[in-house]
Amino acid sequence: MKEIKQSSRLGEQYTVIKHSSGLTLKLCPMEGYSSAYALFATNYGSVDNCFKTGEDPDFLRVPEGIAHFLEHKLFESEEGDAFTRYAETGATANAYTTFDRTAYLFSCSENFAQSIDILLDFVTKPYFTPATVEKEQGIIGQEIKMYEDNPDARVFFNLLAAMYHKNPVRIDIVGTVDSIAQIDADILYRCYRTFYNLNNMVLAIAGSFEVDTVLEACDRILKPAAPIEILREQVEEPKEVREKRVEQHLPVAVPLFQIGFKGDAAPSPEENMLGQVEDEILMDIIAGESTTLYRQLYDEGLINATFVGDAMASRDYTLTVYGGESRDPDEVCRRIVAEIQRLGSQGIDPDVFQRTKKAAYGRYVGMFGRVESVAGLMVVTHFSGVEMYSLLDKVASVTLEEMERRLKGSFDTTRCALSVVCGG
């Protein structure tokens, strides 16, 4: 099954193919580019820590950090590690695990056919032994310690733990030294068989490559996977945040802060993803660089050039986060809350809305100009059930009324938490 998706705004297109193995392919050849960027991803991340398949009698709770651990381990097979295999093709390879997905990637400017073979092969051939699991516990143990010393990571994960009572987004992606010590080969295989079913995965490629090369490799390497039903434990997450304020002491010069607003999650990931586009524009309307609030905070020395906003959305959560450095994070939080309340009662200035929307449009067009971001967008939109170009259409068509409606659900000032990392 093959379908072409087009964007009249950009004059560009990509192809979606449901392969006979069960895998979805999203392929976007881009003219004039020297490199190709491939992502082989599964709809499986750190939040999937309690699950069962349609055939399992009971839910299985797995150690925290296992999705990330599995990502590390897949690089190893009986024939050696994938890095060594890629070494012969000249591709740059890597992988990452987020809250809701795990992706294996390579970027190359030659030998694409050999590299895609390696990618499809090693991700579909797990190989875990007690010795290799133990070796990885040492390496990931050091990775965990590295993040323990990283104030940017701490301020973020502490915020999520403060905002959520039960949703597993509150848990560190890498887990802890103790949790990863509980991981063994059997449990890795169990997770693998559930989430690395090809029907739960996507292969997204952008840049310089031929579609036929990919199809030929898929036909040759992939074995058909039986359809699978994956059930994730549903948690009853209260609307309120768990703690209003959390603080940790680490050696930093100026306190780091993040202010999070817990949004109303819609029942579908699709609505959450499109809502995220609106949230990003709203964040600029509230405290973007051109706002009066930003100017006041800056002029009073409450924020500096590190101040940024970020919106996140997934299957069952949406949140927005402002962060930066400040000597008085509590005051920054009070002022942002006051501005949201003002916008709620007085409405959004149409001029501010128009220029913020225009800026968002420029930003989104830019995303379609880089191979890695096109491939990344194809993955996240696939898992959310959104057509990729509809993000740009959403930015272009969003109205002031929609923004004002969204403000109430996404920026409820009673559901706000502050995370601070400071010295001393």
Partner 1 sequence: MSYEMLREPIGDGIYFSSVTDPKFKHNRLSVSFVLPLSRVGASDNAVVPHLLRKGCRECPDFSSLNARLCQLYGAVLDADVSKYGGYQLLEVSIRGLDNRYALEGEDIVQQCAQLLASVALDPNLDEDGLFPAKDVELERQYVMDTIESQINDKRGYALSRCMQVMCEGEPVAVRRYGYRDTAEKISARSAAEAYRNMLEVAPVEILFTGSGSADKAKEIFRRRFAGTRRSPGNYDPVRLRETPGGLKEKTEEMDLSQGKLVMGFRTGSITTQRQLYGARVFAALFGGTPFSKLFLNVRERLSLCYYCAARFDVATRLLTVDSGVETANKQKAQDEILAQLAAVQRGEFTDEELANTKLLMRGNVRTMTDSLSGLGGWYLTQILRGQNLSPGEDALQIEKVTREDVIQASGGVALDTVYFLRGHSEQEAAK
| Pairing verdict, β 36-42 and 76-77 | unpaired
Q: With binding defined as CB under 8 A, does residue 371 bind partner 1? A: yes
What does the block give as tokens for 75? Answer: 């690089």
Site string for partner 1, 27-66 (x = CB under 8 A): ---xxxxxx-------------------------------
Site string for partner 1, 240-279 (x = CB under 8 A): ----------xxxxx-x-----------------------
For residues 194-227, one letter each, b for 16 or more C-beta atoms within 10 angstroms of the residue's C-beta and e for the rest, the string is bbbbbbbbbbbbbbbbebeebbebbeebbeebee
Q: Which helix (H) or strand (E) holds 17?
A: strand 12-18
Binding residues for partner 1, total number by CB under 8 A: 67
Which of 79, 88, 210, 229 touches partner 1 by CB under 8 A?
88
Query: Is 257 in contact with 326 (CB distance < 8 Å)?
Result: yes
Q: Where are the alpha helices (DSSP H) in 32-65?
A: none
Site for partner 1 in 201-240 (CB under 8 A): 207
Site for partner 1 in 89-128 (CB under 8 A): 89-93, 107-110
Please state whether 74 falls in left (phi above 0), alpha (psi between -120 and 50) or beta.
Answer: alpha
Q: Is there a catalytic annotation at residue 31?
A: no
- CB-nearer residue toward partner 1: 40 or 364: 364
Q: With binding defined as CB under 8 A, does residue 342 bind partner 1? A: no
Q: With binding defined as CB under 8 A, does residue 149 bind partner 1? A: yes
- CB-nearer residue toward partner 1: 292 or 341: 292
| Pairing verdict, β 24-29 and 201-207 | parallel
**Closest of 14, 287, 248 to residue 152, by C-alpha:** 248
What does the block give as tokens for 66? Answer: 């296992």
Q: Which residues are catalytic?
A: 71
Q: Could you list the residues that contact partner 1 (CB under 8 A)?
A: 30-35, 81, 83-84, 87-93, 107-110, 135, 138-140, 142-143, 145-146, 148-152, 207, 250-254, 256, 288-292, 294-295, 298-299, 301, 304-305, 325, 355-356, 358-363, 365-366, 368-371
